[in-house]
Structure formats: C-alpha cells, structure tokens
A and B are shown apart, each in its own frame.
Chain A
C-alpha cells in the first residue's frame, strides 16, 4: 500500500465508521430508521482493504452486514442514508433498506439477507466477464456463518472448476448472530477449506488494512490473469451486537473479549501507521472533520428527501410490463 492508498483507506474507513455511528444513533433515538441495522463497526479494515484492491469497474457482492461495503467501493453516502430512512431518493428507492444496499454505478451488485446466497452470484458476475470478454473481477463478502451454508461450497466449487476470476472474502468475526463459531465448526480455519477446492486459502489479520489489501490485491491479480479464485479469511470483530434495535446487549460475548479487540481498532492502527510515516496529525484531523460533515450532510439530505409516493409500491417489479388488455 502506498501513501495515497493509505490515505484513501483512512478516508473510506472513517466514512464507514461515522456513517454507521450516525445510523446507530438514529435507530436508538427512534428518529427515522425503521427495522434494524446490522453494523460492521470494527470490521472496516477488512471491508476497505478488500475493496481498494478492486478497480472501479470490478464487481462486489455484499451480505446482510454491508452498509460499509458499497461505501468502500466508492458509493456516495447520501443515497445510502436516504435508503436506510426509506426515502424516495434512497439508492434502492426505499425498496431494499439496510440489508439490501446496492449501487450498480460503482459495481456494488447488492446485498442479501439470506446468509451465503450472494457467494454464487459473485461467481456468476465473474463468469459474465468471461462471456463479455472483459477482465473484470468479482469479489464476494460473507461472514463465518455464511461459510457453513451450501451456497458457499457450491459457489467455491463452481468458481474453481470453471477457473473464474472471483475473490471470496470471509469476514470471520467469530459469531453468527449470537452463535460462536467454535460451537458450529469443528475446524478452526475457514481458509483451510480452500484446499478442498484446489484454490489458495489465505488467513489474514482483518484489523490491518494493509495486510488485507495485500492479500486481496494478490488474489485480484491472480483472478484477472485467469488464475482462478482465492479464498481469504480475515479475522476481525464487530463491536456492536448482531443487530441494532435499541440498546447494546453483549449477552453472547464477554465484555473482556470486546475490550481486547478494541485495543487493535483498525482505524487507530492505520492512524498510528500514518503518523509514524510522517503524515501530520492535522491532515488526519482535517480528513476526519470532512468525513463528519459528509455524514451530517447525508443525514440532512435523507431527512429532507420525500417519502415514496404510493404508486412506487408497484414500480420496479418488471422491466417490460406486458400489455394484457386487448
């Protein structure tokens, strides 16, 4: 990672952290986000490091904990926040909400609330690149829970058998909802599963954005050059509970465990690295202030955006409505 990439990573990680904090605050105060939100606070280095290894025209498929993923891929914040608030200006026009953020303009092909279901879809986007004769790569994000569903195995097998240009990134945050990985997997490595599909399996420190970036960049290069897929397991941790409805409840995890992970906060680690590398604190503080204002503006944009008109209920179901009356 060069200095410019590090600064870019810092900005995107800050955007995710501040965006999600704002969303959490709105949910907790009951001020305009309905339902629940699944926050990736704590996992920003994995999300950003992976996406920075992609080109703007590459594809990315997220999962249910994926506000950060389109942000890392370059999406504008305002339409994302408007979507969380169910506004007509939302990136999905208020039809998808928190678990289905997509921004096709930046190659973010959407997110799925069905654990693991996006994995074969990413393989399909890589297959499409081959058919269309481009060298675009597809990146698939999922959690440790997603690694146990059939779609994971079918998607990896298909990608390996067809030598597709896809990168599978498992954000292993140790818990599937409230269930500990150690209770649902006999093995202690998800990366090791790659061997069964004859593809490289890489385990990486998910708190270190440079480490994630290097692993992802290697996998992306390999994918683009026709070398086929790679499985990356990034060890990371979410600070918040599975989903944010109201207050925080760490019922399934020890507070000590959380505090231990907080000592290796991905934003703090990158900030220290930049400071050590000679970037002035004032540069980083100015960046943080810009991002904070960007998030405030996204919230303001969402709040002043109109709710969808009733007719929108029936829109976007079909591409080509068929005239039945004669």
Chain B
C-alpha cells in the first residue's frame, strides 16, 4: 500500500466508524486528492465544498470541534497553514487550557509538505518546528505507509488537536500495512533499523535516506541504528536516550531548518539527559537557514541525503573531523 493510499484508508475507516468525523479540504473532490470520491459516500455535509478561506474554515473547525464534531482539516500545502496561524496557535492549541478544561478541540490538521519539488519557498516549508514551540498541539510526522495509517487513525480519535505532517516525497512510497484495525500510538518512536555504533534519529523523509545511509555504512563495517520518532510532540525521549546509551553517538537528520528546529530539540534533550553516554559531539544534518529556492540545482543541496547522513555518521564513528560542509548530494 502506498503512503497516499494509507492516508485515504485511515480517513475512510474513521469516517465510516464515527459519523462525527468530517473533512474540510479545498478541492476535496478533485481526482488528485486522497479524499476523491468521499462526497459520494459521505455526502456534502461531511465533505463540504470549501472556499479558499483557511483562517475562516480553521476557525469553523474549532467551533465545530468544541461542540461535538471531529474535523480533519487538510491544508493541501503546509504553507497554507500560515494563513490560519491565529486560529491554530491562539485557539486550537489554547482553548482547552484557557477555558480550564471545559473545551475539547479534537481536530486533525493535515499538512502535505511539498518541498524538494521545485515549488519555491512559499510552497516548500516544513513548519513542524514552529508548532513544536506551541504547547497544546500534538505533532506527528509519519515516514511509512503503516505509520501514516496508524497515526492518522490515532490522531482522528485523539481529543487534542493533532498536526499531521506528510512529506509529499513519501506519498508514492510503498510499504506493508497490517490487515485489520491498525493503530499506532501517538508518542512512541520506532526503531527503523537496529545498530550498535551510532544512532541516527531521522524525521519524515530523512528516515528512508537514513536507512540508505545505514546500508552503505554497513558495507564499511559501521552499524547505524535508525530511530524514527514518528511523533515530535510528545517526543519519545526515552527511546532516543536508550538508543544513544547503546551507541554513544548521535546524528539527527531532519529536512527542516537548523535554528530552533526539531533536530535542535532532540540534540538538546540528549545533551542534557544523555551527556554521559556520548562518546562524540552530536551532529545535525539539516536544512540550512535559507529558503527553498526554485531551481532544482540549488534546492537539492538543502536537505539530508543518504550521502550527507552517512558522511556525518562515519566521521563520528571513526573520530575523523566532522565534515563541516555537509551540503550537497
């Protein structure tokens, strides 16, 4: 099953299970969308035609969520969330707390991240680190079809707002998905590959890149453990610290920007709580603090690649100076 099909199946199963689950998505009927055909099965009330009005329909989803409905809001392109930033940050995230527990805001915000696709800076962001800074939001970034399915179903059933980030690069990727009811708990990391020499914590589409890097490293006698947090809030600190305790070395691979990023948070957790395990400095393989440019010749320099991840891990294990210039394929 493809990642895209897993997203579709998760929504279908949950909408069939719970009549209060609805989808807010611009162009939900368009043949390219995972929601194609939904209106025929669920009707135009549960899959309403949306104006291009991200702030408005996000606010409406919040009001609906506080009064018994469970909306899935699909921003189609992650950058479009910025238009609804006030509603997401000031209201969805805060209303339960502000109202002393009276409000529940069970919404899933789906955000497809279309970077590495020559869509330039306004269509190419990876906004999860910005939202990690907002208490009250759960944040997931699945990397496999099985996790895409299981985490989306868990997110739809969760009584808190969950932001669900989908790297578009992974939409076409295929993988095994368990039959029957498949739920992945929010807040649990997965060991994508076990290893003893170095831990690579990888996020989103950096997970398959890290697995390729680990295969290449194995040919050189280095066993890398690839850990996929899957959930960034709440972060499975225990799994990360346990892995680093075994390997003594940490590379964090993340396609988002360097400053105050998810990788920075993970590195800080390990520096604070796992320093005694470390045999080498922590290395981040992340996007530099520049906007994604349009030209593919430039944009492909930005994100973690198998070569960048492998070079960083190998330098840690061999004690060679960490390559300062890790940008490039």
Chain A residues close to B by CB (< 8 Å): 59, 61, 90-96, 100, 102-104, 109-110, 112, 114, 117-132, 136, 138, 150-151, 153-155, 157-158, 161-162, 315-326
Contacts of A321 in B (CB 8 A): 234
Q: If the complex has contacts A315-B101, A319-B104, are A158 and B51 also in contact, measured as CB distance less than 8 A?
A: yes
Contact assessment for A127 and B63 in the assembled complex, using a CB-CB cutoff below 8 Å: yes
List of A residues within 8 angstroms of B60 by Cβ: 120-121, 123-124, 127, 155, 158
Measured CB to CB, the nearest residue on chain B to A312 is B100
Please report the C-alpha to C-alpha distance between residue A128 and residue B45 in the assembled complex, in whole angstroms: 10
B234 and A324: CB pair below 8 A?
yes
A131→B51 contact, CB < 8 A: no
Complex Cα–Cα for A320 and B188 (A): 14
Rounded to whole angstroms, the CA-CA distance of A295 and B166 in the bound complex is: 53
Q: B288 in the interface, Cβ–Cβ < 8 Å?
A: no
Interface contact B99-A154, CB-CB below 8 Å: no
- Assess whether B55 is in contact with A150, with CB atoms less than 8 Å apart: yes
Beyond A120-B56, A124-B65, 13 additional contacts (C-beta under 8 Å) are A91-B100, A109-B66, A117-B90, A127-B69, A128-B67, A154-B55, A158-B51, A158-B60, A161-B49, A320-B160, A322-B186, A324-B235, A324-B238
The docked-state distance in angstroms from the alpha carbon of A154 to that of B185 is 36
B246 at interface, CB cutoff 8 A: no
Known contacts A124-B63, A320-B160, A322-B234; is-contact A154 B53 (Cβ 8 Å) = yes
How far in angstroms is the closest Cβ of chain A from B232?
A: 12
The answer to whether B63 touches A117 (Cβ under 8 A) is: no
Chain B contributes a number of interface residues (CB within 8 A of A) equal to 56
**Assembled-state Cα–Cα distance A100/B237 (Å):** 34
Query: Which residues in A have their C-beta under 8 angstroms from that of B263?
Result: none
B136 engages A317 (CB within 8 Å):
yes
- CB contacts (< 8 Å) of B237 on chain A: these are 324
- Confirm or deny: B86 has a beta carbon within 8 angstroms of a beta carbon on chain A: yes
A298 to B64, CA, bound (A): 32
The 3 closest A-B pairs by CB, nearest first: A124-B63, A154-B56, A120-B59
Whether, in the assembled complex, B210 has its beta carbon less than 8 Å from a beta carbon of chain A, the answer is no
Digitize B89-119: 1 where CB-to-A-CB distance is under 8 Å, 0 elsewhere. Answer: 0110001111111111010000000000000
- Say which residue of A102, A117, A125, A155 sits within 8 Å of B67 (CB atoms): A125
For residue B239, which residues in chain A have a CB less than 8 angstroms away from its CB? Answer: 326
Q: CA of A59 to CA of B19 in the docked complex: distance in angstroms?
A: 21
Contacts of A117 in B (CB 8 A): 59, 86-87, 90-91
Of B67, B96, B135, B235, the residue contacting A129 (CB under 8 A) is B67
Q: Which A residues lie within 8 Å of B102 (CB)? A: 91-92, 102-104, 110
Does any Cβ of A come within 8 Å of B328's Cβ? no
- Establish whether residues B55 and A120, one from each chain, have CB atoms under 8 Å apart when the complex forms: yes
Interface flag for B57 (CB, 8 Å): yes
B67 near A96 with CB under 8 A, answer no
Known contacts A114-B90, A128-B67, A93 near B101 by CB under 8 Å: yes
Pairwise interchain contact B160-A319, C-beta atoms closer than 8 A = yes
B56 in contact with A155 (CB, 8 Å): yes
Residues of B with C-beta under 8 A to A136: 67
Cβ B136 vs Cβ A318 within 8 A: yes
B95 and chain A: residue at smallest CB distance: A110
Please report the C-alpha to C-alpha distance between residue A313 and residue B60 in the assembled complex, in whole angstroms: 29
Expressed in whole angstroms, the Cα–Cα distance for A91 and B103 within the complex equals 12
Cβ contact within 8 Å between A59 and B100: no
User: Nearest chain B CB to A131's CB is how many angstroms away?
Assistant: 5
Binary contact track B137-181/A, C-beta < 8 Å → 1, others 0:
010000000000000000000111000000000000000000000
Q: Determine how close the nearest CB of chain A comes to the CB of B82; give it in whole angstroms.
A: 13
**A104–B55 contact, CB under 8 A?**
no
Verify if B68 is at the interface (C-beta below 8 Å from A): yes
Given contacts A90-B100, A322-B234, contact A125 B66 (CB under 8 A): yes
Residues of A within 8 A of B64 (CB): 124-125, 127-128, 131
**Is A92's CB under 8 angstroms from B235's CB?**
no
Residue of B nearest to A104 (CB): B102
User: In the complex, which residues of chain A have a beta carbon less than 8 angstroms from the beta carbon of B63?
Assistant: 61, 109, 120-128, 138
Is B100 touching A316 in the complex (CB atoms < 8 A)?
Answer: yes
B residues near A138, Cβ cutoff 8 Å: 63
Cα of A318 to Cα of B158 in the assembled complex, Å:
10
Chain B residue, CB-CB nearest to A130: B45
Q: Which B residues between 225 and 269 are near A, CB-CB below 8 angstroms?
A: 231, 234-239
Give Cα A151 to B51, complex, Å. 13
Docked CA distance A322–B162 (Å): 12
**A124 and B71 alpha carbons, distance in the complex (Å):** 10
Residues of A within 8 A of B234 (CB): 321-322, 324
Pairwise interchain contact B51-A109, C-beta atoms closer than 8 A: no
User: Contacts A128-B69, A157-B51, A325-B238 hold; do A317 and B96 have CB atoms under 8 A apart?
Assistant: yes
